[in-house]
Amino acid sequence: GQNIDQPTEMTATEGAIVQINCTYQTSGFNGLFWYQQHAGEAPTFLSYNVLDGLEEKGRFSSFLSRSKGYSYLLLKELQMKDSASYLCALRDSNYQLIWGAGTKLIIKP
Amino acid sequence: IAGITQAPTSQILAAGRRMTLRCTQDMRHNAMYWYRQDLGLGLRLIHYSNTAGTTGKGEVPDGYSVSRANTDDFPLTLASAVPSQTSVYFCASSEAGGATDTQYFGPGTRLTVL
């Protein structure tokens, strides 16, 4: 079977750095996605990892370790607009996305 | 502006009624998807279509049907709505076959079945 775990909620301070973890178990792996979803809005694509290592995109970075079934999203220089839910999604052997329940990130001034 | 549109934005429906949620994309993407999103749960795939003329069942297909007559449109029909189908429904599309095959989402339809 397949399973994705991420923390339900995290709180961080404006200007700080936060790491959102995602662990997964799967029989087939074809990449891992991170999406951002503001309340009442659609998910929007942030990053994609298929090989081990770190992918950096401005203030956001995503890391993958396939052997450990682990990924994280790193957000630097946090801004109030980063308050949102962050969704981890695994692309399985059928090339369908299996989604985690999301991590709600609260940014405090 | 290119993207995905969904209609209606929200709807309150009596149980037992038939309802079609509309989804249109203008990105010429091959693949389209319907998800439902419920509090505390991840997005769950209802049905998908890899290309016009073909459809497939996702994780939670019961009570829903889809059609894909052309590239742009992918309507989702609830034949006889039940309260457990109260949810936010997102349509998505992807190029399919691309390196990342990123899915892009429409704004969603909030459906309440009473």
Taking only the tens place, the pLDDT of each residue in B17-51 is 999 999 999 999 999 999 999 998 889 999 999 99
A87 with B42: Cβ contact below 8 A? yes
- CB distance A70 to A21 below 8 Å: yes
B75 burial class (0-12, 13-18, 19+ CB within 10 angstroms)? middle
Mean pLDDT of all residues in chain B?
A: 94
Query: Which of the two residues, A28 and A86, has the higher pLDDT score?
Result: A86
Peptide bond before B8: cis, by omega within 30 degrees of 0? yes
B90 with A95: Cβ contact below 8 A? no
Average confidence (pLDDT) over A47-72: 96
Tokens of A17: 């750095």
Q: What percent of chain A has pLDDT over 90?
A: 87
Residue-level pLDDT at B22: 98
Q: pLDDT, tens digit, for every residue of B86-105? A: 999 999 999 876 667 899 99
The yes-or-no verdict on residue A28 having pLDDT over 90 is: no
Residue-level pLDDT at A3: 87
Strands A44-49 and A97-99: unpaired
The CA-atom distances, in angstroms, between B82 and each of B4, B16, B24, B61 are 27, 6, 25, 14
* Interface check B107 vs A, CB under 8 A: yes
